[in-house]
Structures are given as structure tokens and as C-alpha cells.
Structure 1
Amino acid sequence: MNDRWQINGLPLPDPLIDLIESGRWRHPGDEVLRQLIPWLDDPLDFMTTIDELRLHNRLIAELGTDTLEFFQIGRGSAGRPIVLPWLDLDQAVFIAECRYAGDDIAVALDYRTNPADPRVLATALPAARHCSWRQVTPTFTQFVDALHLR
């Protein structure tokens, strides 16, 4: 795989590359997304190009320690295992984020389960003082199929 289709050193899944290249990686509509991720009350926007994916993932990686802790995002490379409800930033690629600043929601690929077909996670609103991460689908392929993007 060439570096063009990598984010933070992680290869994008082949179905995502195909969808981006064909222009079919686009938001399916708020209601369709709400049916798949019912715990997200606020709207999301998909990152639809490789440049947009790179930019937004770089900006997330640059967030301060307190912000990352609020979103329960850690770094497995720091020497401790990161498990749900935390997201391992070193093993994740964000693919969608809140449409409106302050909504504090996102969707990410989680490579801890399968590097070729990572699971899809979404933030869950904070119950206490932190957000957490919940599984949307066990694989990206299932996410795409559930949204009828192919």
C-alpha cells in the first residue's frame, strides 16, 4: 500500500479507499446515521477526501492532554494498554466529526481489532466528566453495508 492511503501510519481499509476514489464516501443523511448510531443526538459530517481526513486527524492528534482525557483518548505507544471505553489514538483514524463546534461527537476506525477491517466506534455523551467510546459495528465493512454506501 502506498503512503497516499495512510493516516498516521495506518492504512485505510480498501472499501473506504474505493468509496473515496469513486466519490461515494459521503454522508448518507442524518436520519440514516441516527438509525445506526441512535445514541448520537447531534449531526455529524463525514471527512470525504484524503486531505480532509489527514487534516482533521492531525488536528485531533495535536489536542492537549486535558482535552484528550475528556474524550477518553489515550496513546498505547505510551506504554500502557488502552481498552474501551477509551480510544487509542495510535490505533485510530477519525472519519466523521460533529457538524457544530461544541457537540463533542465523532466516529473513528479502531484498528485494535482488525487492521484490514477495523471496527467503528462513536463517542457516547458524557455521563459524568468524560466522554466514552461505544462500538457502532464490529467492522468498517459492516458500517458501509448498514449505510448502503456501495
Structure 2
Amino acid sequence: MVLPRRPNGIPTVHTDWQINELPLPGPLIRLISSSRWRHPGDWALRQLTPWLDDPLDFMTTIDELRLHNRLIAQLDADTMQFFQIGRGSAGQPIAMPWLDLDQAVFIAVCRYAGDDIAVTLDYRTSPTDPRVLATDTATIAQQHLSWRQVTPTLSQFINALHLH
């Protein structure tokens, strides 16, 4: 089955599985639907993201994903600047180490308020198997966080954490 595509190449899908107007990748939908999208344990995540000192919590339901992503979308300009988050829809392409909020879906957030860490899908690389990024708090430069690749694709992230 061929899905219709939006101008940016991202397929359109039923809105039940969209966050920020972005379709969740099939493997993530299957894991959420079967309750297998769950935190793999702090140790396993630490092996994949050794630069993150603080624990993360996965958002394991579509409702959690929608809530957290909606809250993040409401960040003020100063906070977005601190987290190096921009909006590509504003006319300027957003390049790494910045995150393009219009092409991102947050999938894990800091367990404790104030830890300022997160993991996100970055659709700039693929509409069906986006790369996975995490905040990089280890190399804070000029009072800003940046974004760092965890894996080149969500599929590799899922395999590395043995979530399938």
C-alpha cells in the first residue's frame, strides 16, 4: 500500500497515530500497540547514551506522547534558544546541533524536573525511519544545550535496546 505524501515527503496516515502532524513510524506504532514500547532500564539506556547523566522516562502511550509534545511545542523563545530548538517552518532550515521542532517527536523525557534531557525522533533524515537524537548536556557551550545523534534510525534504536 502506498501512502499519500505531504510536500515534505512524509507520508500522511490516519491522525490517530500522528504527533505534531508527523506520522509515527510503523515499528513504534506496533510497539506501543502491543505494550512493548517501554523503558528498557536505566543501565541499557546509559549504554546507548553515556553522555546523559540523568535518568529518562519513555512516553509509552499515544496520549503521553501527545501531551508531552504539546507542552514542548509551547516553549517560549528563550527556552527554545537555551535548548537549541528552532522551527524550520519559520523559513530557515534548522541544522544540527539544533533540533527542528517541526520535524521532531519527543519519545522520552527527563524523569526529574530540571534535568533538561530528552530523546526525540528527528524526521529530517527519514519520514519512515527517523534518526534518534538526545540532548547533549556533556558539552554545554555558551550556555546552550545541543542535540546529539543516538542512532541513525529508530530501527537501530529499537534493536539496540532489544525492544522488538
Q: Are 1:103 and 2:103 counterparts?
A: no
Q: CA deviation at 1:128?
A: 2.9
Q: Which TM-score applies when normalising by structure 2?
A: 0.90
- Distance, in Å, in 2 between the alignment partners of 1:63 and 1:82 is 17
- Distance, in Å, in 1 between the alignment partners of 2:145 and 2:60 is 25
Gaps of at least 5 residues in structure 1 are none
- Distance, in Å, in 2 between the alignment partners of 1:117 and 1:20 is 16
- Distance, in Å, in 2 between the alignment partners of 1:41 and 1:34 is 8
- Distance, in Å, in 1 between the alignment partners of 2:120 and 2:51 is 15
Aligned to 2:28: 16
Q: Deviations over 1:102-142 (max 9, x none)?
A: 00000000000000000000000123300000000000000
Q: Give the match's secondary structure for 1:131.
A: strand
- Distance, in Å, in 2 between the alignment partners of 1:48 and 1:42 is 19
How large is the Cα RMSD of the aligned pairs?
A: 0.5
Q: Are 1:3 and 2:15 counterparts?
A: yes
Gaps of at least 5 residues in structure 2 are 1-12
Q: Are 1:55 and 2:64 counterparts?
A: no
Q: Are 1:130 and 2:144 counterparts?
A: yes
Q: CA deviation at 1:18?
A: 0.3
Q: Which TM-score applies when normalising by structure 1?
A: 0.99
Count residues with an aligned counterpart: 150
Q: CA deviation at 1:145?
A: 0.2
2:52 equivalent among 40, 45, 55: 40
Percent identity over the alignment is 77
Q: Give the match's secondary structure for 2:32.
A: helix
Q: Are 1:26 and 2:38 counterparts?
A: yes
The runs of at least 4 aligned residues of structure 1 exceeding 3 Å deviation read none
Q: Give the match's secondary structure for 2:144.
A: coil
Q: CA deviation at 1:70?
A: 0.3
- Distance, in Å, in 2 between the alignment partners of 1:46 and 1:113 is 22
